[in-house]
Amino acid sequence: MSDGNLQSDVLETPCAKKPKIDHENEKNGNDNQIPLNTFTPTKVLSNNTNRKTVFLLGKFKDKSGVAIVILEKNAFKEEELSSEGYFSAETRVHTFFNNDIYGNFECYPISKINGVKTTVIYPATDKHIAKYSKQEVHIVLESPDCYKNLTLPHLQKEQFNLQWVYNILEGKSEADRVVYDNKCEKEGFVLVPDLKWDGLTKESLYLLAIVRQRNIKSLRDLNETHLPLLKRIRDEGKKAILDKYNVAGSQLRIYFHYQPSFYHLHIHFTYLQHEAPGIYAEKSHLLDTVINNIEIMNDYYNKATLPFTIREMDPLFNIYETNGYVEKIKRIVNK
């Protein structure tokens, strides 16, 4: 199958009307500007030197509650490397050393291409603070019984608020960022740039397909009745990305996270050359593999034991540790 042609078994459905691409909508939800110039950091939650990302906890002047600000160095854009930006008369250079044919420098390009991608979560809850804090991580093997008796009751009680997801699906927020919109309530989805992507740099391409159905939480809920939805997301998502970003389907990594960061079914689309967070074996499940597993066994994800990573500040960690599913370790307290 080529990227430009959708499979006939997906198109021949009651909801196969033409969706909107690059949906233009002036409803942008909350237009209040975040006063970043008044942010005062109070704590570094985590500092990932490999990904050049830092997570800061702090407060805005004259605003109640705390905020999390995420700073990330932008990926290089090839078109900027060949233009007068990084290497021009305006470029300032600090020399660390010169030794024969080798030199080490710090370069200060022009300001318009020297920005820092900034993400704000405000007001941030204790759950957000725990999520972005540096902490020890463990792998748990979740059996169907563990999911039913431990994970699911926890999710029903503790999951993140999903209003931001519903705002996207209803066109109340981020409407100007929507890349593709299939409005079918049964098999429809919205394709939108992930919060971690600037929406421009091909080298770090990262989009989310968020399904319109609101009763599918994660992989655990999927069965053969969802195959048309999953195939539609795969095929229409590939075509939309090819049309807009000129990235072929064979260059995309299309996958689920388990456990996901929020419990409304969504699928990740990333550029294969981009080492996106959560692409490792203990976290990601390729969409094509999920489709194949369900075609082999209708209730595969109801019966399978699934691994997932869990961090020690997550309340679910205490549940699994208390019930003997996480190896207890001796914690050394520095005095």
Q: Which of these is catalytic: 264, 266, 274, 285?
A: 266
Residue 266 bears catalytic tag: yes
Q: What is the 3 state secondary structure string of the chain?
A: CCCCCCCHHHHCCCCCCCCEECCCCCCCCCCCCCCHHHEEEEEEEEEECCCCEEEEEEEECCCCCCEEEEEEECCCCHHHHCCCCCCCCCCEEEEEEEECCEEEEEEECCHHHCCEEEEEECCCCHHHHHHHCCCCEEEEEECHHHHHHHHHHHHHHHCCCCHHHHHHHCCCCCHHHCCEEECCCCCCEEEEECCCCCCCCHHHCEEEEEECCCCCCCHHHCCHHHHHHHHHHHHHHHHHHHHHHCCCHHHEEEEEECCCCCCCCEEEEEECCCCCCCCCCCCEEEHHHHHHHHHHCCCHHHHCCEEEEEECCCHHHHHHHHCCCCCCCCCCCCC
Residues annotated catalytic, as ranges:
266
